[in-house]
Chain A
Amino acid sequence: MDVEPATVIHAYGVVCTDAAIDVPATGIGGAGVALLDAGPVSGVFSIVPGASYGAAAWEEHAEDPAWLAQVATEHQRVLNDLVRDIDVLPLRLPAMYRDEVQLHQMLEAETPLFLAVLQALHDHLEWSVHLYLVGEPEESTVERPASGSEYLRQRIDALSRRDSARGNRERLVRDAYASLADLSRQSVVNQPQDSTLSGRREPMLLNSAHLVCRRHERLFLAGVEEVAARLARDGITVEVSGPWPPYNFVELGTDRVDPAEARP
């Protein structure tokens, strides 16, 4: 195994080069944040201790939620600060480079890809929507069956109520998603989050991300309000968070670049 270098580069994201960009003061582990100008695009990065954030550290902590949470949160905070004012392409972790020369080489080699995606996502941000089932339809109290056939009838009624509640819920969720997708440039449904990670006991019925133009933000949020009002009586709550960098939509625009051409 290579000797861990004293410092490595942690890259956060890619932006269009602009002298006026204000980067946040601190990033991962309190390290300073800087821009690396590679022509049309610039990388947002920190120089971090190799012992703490190098390859060996990643290998050691790859499945350690506490360590990952810390790095992920600090990484996201930097992107979050930037995305309020400018378009940023978020890099998936681990985004680690040996030194600035290597980061510069990567940025130069991938410039066509980055420009295509930045152009496709221009002025768009991501919003996250979760639907939770917080209340169940109440089971009506049934009379003690007087006969076998009475019992069967009650049983069939109960099953049919359960099926219709479930079918109804599925329809409500689909409708809610469709309404929000109508207000978005693009939408994606992700798997419901693990309850151990989300810390929520209620079943997550929908975990979706929506790409929304900055100018249409208020329209989208008004749509969320409407959906929430509609679902409240069925025991479903709506949670929205954002704006996020467009993590779920970085594939947009990539079809304009021939992957074979981008490879060295």
Chain B
Amino acid sequence: MSSSSPQTTTAPGAPQGPVFSTNREPSGQSLADVLERVLDKGIVVVGDIQVRLLDIELLTIKIRLMVASVDKAKEMGISWWENDAFVTGIDEPDEKDALEQRVRELEQRLGDGEVQHGR
């Protein structure tokens, strides 16, 4: 080990306890938290929505990329999350590439007018 031990300081004014945001007052909810949940989580009843003029799969993938972009995390200097399934929640390192590829394919199909709306 080096002779000089690393100095650690707490940010000035850093709260000692957690910051609570209870949903008993809805204004305390973060919009990012709401979007992440409402658009990317929750139960999906696949195939039973007959009013289906938009491709929900495409929308979901796009929103997922918008809500949680690994690239942005990298820009913020925390690239060590990148290949860590425990932390990122991504099992396959290639998952994002695959999603992006899927978005491109779906966009292509949309552009070609091949997507069949409604079943």
Among the 9-residue stretches A32-40, A144-152, A159-167, the one with 4 or more Cβ atoms under 8 Å from chain B is A159-167
Contacts A/B (CB < 8 Å), 22 sampled: A55-B53, A59-B54, A63-B62, A72-B38, A94-B56, A98-B51, A135-B9, A135-B10, A161-B4, A191-B89, A191-B90, A203-B78, A225-B17, A228-B18, A229-B16, A233-B8, A234-B10, A237-B18, A239-B18, A240-B20, A242-B22, A244-B33
- Interface residues in chain B, defined as those with a beta carbon under 8 Å from any beta carbon in chain A: 1-4, 6-11, 14-24, 26, 28-45, 47-54, 56, 59-60, 62-63, 66-70, 72-73, 76-78, 80-81, 86-90, 117
Q: Once the chains bind, are A238 and B19 in contact (CB under 8 Å)?
A: yes
Whether A96 and B67, one on each chain, are in contact in the complex, defined by CB atoms closer than 8 angstroms, is: no
Q: Which A residue sits closest to B44, measured CB to CB?
A: A92
Q: Which residues of A contact B2 (CB under 8 A)?
A: 156-157, 160-161
In the complex the two chains form, what is the Cα distance from A258 to B78 in whole Å? 41
Task: Assess whether A237 is in contact with B19, with CB atoms less than 8 Å apart.
Answer: yes
Which residues from A are CB-within-8-Å of B90? 191
User: Are A247 and B37 interface neighbours, CB within 8 A?
Assistant: yes
> Using Cβ atoms and an 8 Å threshold, which residues of chain A touch B30?
198, 241
Complex interface: chain B residues within 8 A of A160 (CB): 1-2
Given A2-B53, A197-B32, decide whether A80 and B22 contact each other with a Cβ distance below 8 A. no
CB distance from B72 to the nearest CB of A (A): 5
Smallest CB-CB separation from A167: which chain B residue?
Answer: B80
Give the A-B pair count, Cβ closer than 8 A.
241
Whether A239 touches B42, Cβ cut-off 8 Å, given contacts A193-B36, A263-B47, is no
Tell me how far the C-beta of A242 lies from the nearest C-beta in chain B, rounded to whole angstroms: 6
Say yes or no: B16 contacts A232, CB within 8 Å.
yes
Note all chain B residues with C-beta closer than 8 A to A72.
31, 34-35, 38-39
Closest to B16 in A: A232
Inter-chain contact A134/B11, CB cutoff 8 Å: yes
Given A160-B2, A195-B76, A248-B41, A98 and B50 touching (CB < 8 A)? yes
**List of A residues within 8 angstroms of B16 by Cβ:** 228-229, 232
Q: A76-B38, A196-B72 are in contact. Are A55 and B52 (CB under 8 A)?
A: yes
Q: Determine whether the beta carbon of B89 is less than 8 Å from that of A235.
A: no
Measured CB to CB, the nearest residue on chain B to A109 is: B48
Minimum distance in angstroms from A56 CB to a CB of chain B: 7
- When distances are taken between beta carbons in the complex, the residues of chain B under 8 Å from A199 are 31-32
Give bound CA distance, A91 to B39, whole Å. Answer: 9
| Chain B residues, CB < 8 A from A227 | 18
Q: What's the nearest-Cβ distance from chain B to residue A171, in Å? A: 12
Please report whether the interface of chain A is mostly helix, strand, loop or mixed according to DSSP.
mixed
Are A197 and B35 within 8 A (Cβ)?
yes
B42 close to A90 (CB less than 8 A):
yes
Please name all residues of chain A whose beta carbon is closer than 8 Å to the beta carbon of B47 when the two chains form the complex: 263
Chain A residues numbered 185-206 whose CB sits less than 8 Å from any CB in chain B: 188-199, 203-206
Q: Please tell me if the beta carbons of A188 and B31 are within 8 angstroms of each other in the complex.
A: no
Pick the 7 closest A-B CB pairs, nearest first.
Answer: A135-B11, A55-B53, A191-B68, A92-B42, A247-B41, A241-B21, A228-B18
Given contacts A194-B68, A235-B11, 14 further A-B contacts (CB under 8 A): A8-B51, A69-B31, A76-B26, A80-B23, A135-B14, A191-B88, A192-B73, A193-B32, A199-B32, A203-B73, A228-B15, A229-B17, A238-B19, A244-B37
Judging by beta carbons under 8 Å apart, are B37 and A232 in contact? no
Interface positions of A from 131 to 189, Cβ below 8 Å from B = 133-135, 137-138, 140, 156-157, 160-161, 164-166, 170, 173-174, 188-189
Query: How near does chain A come to B57, taking the closest CB pair, in angstroms?
Result: 12
